[in-house]
Amino acid sequence: MKSEEVKSEKWRFTGHRMPDIFRIFHFFTSHLKREIAMKLISEEKDGQTFLKISGDISVYEVRELRDELIAHLKAHSELTLDLSEVTDCDTAGVQLLYSARITAESEDKPFLIRGASPQLVNAVTFVGLNPSEVLNVGEGV
């Protein structure tokens, strides 16, 4: 293939445009990841809302988790997260957890994280933040 045949948006690859292939691949992989990557269990114990999150907290899951955290913060006077079974966390996940903590504090609602997994602590450290400030880890319920 001569270089003048290649245009900026159209790449020839077995008769298909490369961007279409990438979009299809992204669609399938992102939907599969969303279904299996995170599990969220909500419980109430002694008037306290308790959310247990297991699996990944990544860019693929933050929208769903954000919606759940907002709903719980609106409906309850306090919120405790058990993050002991978080297997992976990226920058979007760290940002969401820190934002949730700041939001709860601005509304004078207790926000406690218990059992932060080593993977979560590593993710917070990796982005240059202090785990004790972001995670505010305390004793469990």
Q: Measured in Å, how far apart are the chain's first and last C-alpha atoms? A: 65
Token pair for residue 76?
């309850």
Q: How far is CA 133 from CA 19, 83, 111, in A?
A: 42, 15, 12
Question: Burial of 22 by CB count in 10 Å (0-12 exposed, 13-18 middle, 19+ buried)?
Answer: exposed
Tell me the pLDDT tens digit for each residue of 81-131: 999 999 999 999 999 999 999 999 999 998 888 889 999 999 999 999 888
Euclidean distance between CA atoms 12 and 16, whole angstroms = 6
Q: Which sequence spans correspond to the domains of the chain?
A: 8-33, 37-135
**Between the ranges 14-23, 72-81, 116-125, where is the mean pLDDT highest?**
116-125
* Phi and psi torsions of 41, nearest 5°: -120, 125
Tell me the pLDDT tens digit for each residue of 59-71: 988 999 999 999 9
CATH number of 37-135: 3.30.750.24
Give me the chain's average pLDDT, please: 77
